[in-house]
């Protein structure tokens, strides 16, 4: 028996169902849903209270032995996990791109001047304004269903969501446009799932080993090394996308000012045997070009 712990949101339940189906019938599975601090404080800006608010209760359940595997969106994980926990597997990754949903159905270029675009992400805000300074980027919170409903009710002209979440919820057809990464570089870890367990739990690690996708895991390591080196939490408009294939990893990353009027962008290549080195090298190049100042500004 493996006990999978996850948040109780519709998206989280869809994600844990993917893992459950891949484990059964060879492994008996129990799904434990938990309400996290992030769920209770959904009215607050995650940039203020930190990424760990979406994982803390699940982490504690693992450490206490009440659950065996935490199923997370990789982008929700802080750059450093609590002592005693490890990312044991990263399943095959969904396309990490961002998606635009507009009401009425319009592409990004078709949005009228001054259109209200909803997002609570500093990364998305910065890149929206960088691409179109005429837009009114306004705060939009809540789960996917809530934000789409509020869009239809006329609160905004458009919203930006992760393509992966829409796909997992069976709502990808509602997207007006999938952003190219030249316009909207994704968040660190976007589109990927992380299976977290207790360090040294070899039995559980062995049971879930077949779920690990080497390319997705390589990309996760490169992107998270970048995040750690920059010491950037979710306040900073940091974006990055790694791609691992044929023994090589390529990483493109950027840091933006909150207003989107300044940005530094870099990329790097290296061996897929050491993706962390690529992440650290790209972070070093970003820092050399002033990324630290942008991160500091975002934190204040």
**Per-residue model confidence as pLDDT tens digits over 198-210:** 999 999 999 999 9
From the candidate CATH numbers 3.40.1170.10, 3.40.50.620, 3.40.190.10, 3.40.50.800, the one assigned to the domain spanning 98-178: 3.40.190.10
Domains 1-91+192-212 and 98-178 share a fold: yes
The predicted structure's pLDDT at residue 50: 55
φ, ψ for residue 32, nearest 5 deg? -110, 120
Tokens of 171: 């709502």
For residue range 163-200, what is the model confidence (pLDDT) as tens digits? Answer: 999 999 999 999 999 999 999 999 999 999 999 999 99
Architecture in CATH of 213-300: 2-Layer Sandwich (3.30)
Residue written as token pair 């919170």: 141
Q: What is the mean pLDDT of the chain?
A: 93
Inform me whether the pLDDT recorded for 45 exceeds 60: no
- Provide the sign of the torsion angle of the four alpha carbons 244, 280, 231, 130, taken in this order: negative
Q: Where are the domains of the chain?
A: 1-91+192-212, 98-178, 213-300
Mean pLDDT for the stretch of residues 15-41: 89
pLDDT of residue 54: 80
- The CATH number corresponding to 1-91+192-212 among 3.40.50.1460, 3.10.20.90, 3.40.190.10, 3.40.710.10 equals 3.40.190.10
**Mean per-residue pLDDT, 92-118:** 97
| Half-sphere exposure at residue 6, Cβ-oriented, CA atoms within 13 angstroms | 26
Distances (CA, A) of 153 to 137, 148, 170, 246, 268: 17, 9, 21, 47, 44
| Phi/psi of residue 242, nearest 5 degrees | -100, 150
Q: What is the pLDDT of residue 234?
A: 57
Q: How far is CA 179 from CA 52, 76, 147, 156, 266, in A?
A: 28, 21, 19, 19, 19
pLDDT of residue 46 exceeding 90: no
pLDDT digits (tens, 9 = 90+) for 210-258: 999 999 999 999 999 999 999 765 567 999 999 999 999 999 999 999 9
Report the Cα–Cα distance between both ends of the chain, in Å, rounded: 46
Q: List active site positions.
A: 76
pLDDT at position 297, please? 87
């Amino acid at each position: 028996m493996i006990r999978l712990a996850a948040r109780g949101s519709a998206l989280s339940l869809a994600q844990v169902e993917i893992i459950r189906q891949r484990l059964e019938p060879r492994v008996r599975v129990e799904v434990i849903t938990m309400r996290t601090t992030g769920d209770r404080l959904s009215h607050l800006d995650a940039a203020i209270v930190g990424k760990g608010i979406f994982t803390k209760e699940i982490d504690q359940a693992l450490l206490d032995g009440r659950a065996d595997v935490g199923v997370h969106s990789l982008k929700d994980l802080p750059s450093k996990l609590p002592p005693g926990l490890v990312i044991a597997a990263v399943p095959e990754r969904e396309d990490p791109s961002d998606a635009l949903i507009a009401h009425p159905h319009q592409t990004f270029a078709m949005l009228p001047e001054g259109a209200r675009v909803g997002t609570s992400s500093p990364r998305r805000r910065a890149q929206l304004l960088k691409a179109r300074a005429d837009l009114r980027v306004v705060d939009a919170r809540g789960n996917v269903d809530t934000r789409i409903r509020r869009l239809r009710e006329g609160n905004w002209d458009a919203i930006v969501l992760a393509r992966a979440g829409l796909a997992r919820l069976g709502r990808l057809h509602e997207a007006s446009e999938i952003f190219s990464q030249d316009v909207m570089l994704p968040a660190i870890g976007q589109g990927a799932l992380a299976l977290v367990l207790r360090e040294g739990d070899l039995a559980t690690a062995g049971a879930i080993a077949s779920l690990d996708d080497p390319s997705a895991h390589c990309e996760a390591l490169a992107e998270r090394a970048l995040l750690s080196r920059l010491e950037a939490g979710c306040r900073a408009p940091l974006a990055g996308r790694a791609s691992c294939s044929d023994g090589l990893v390529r990483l493109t990353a950027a840091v933006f000012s909150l207003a989107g009027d300044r940005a530094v962008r870099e990329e790097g290549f290296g061996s897929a045997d050491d993706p962390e080195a690529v992440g650290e090298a790209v972070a070093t190049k970003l820092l050399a070009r002033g990324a630290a100042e942008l991160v500091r500004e975002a934190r204040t």
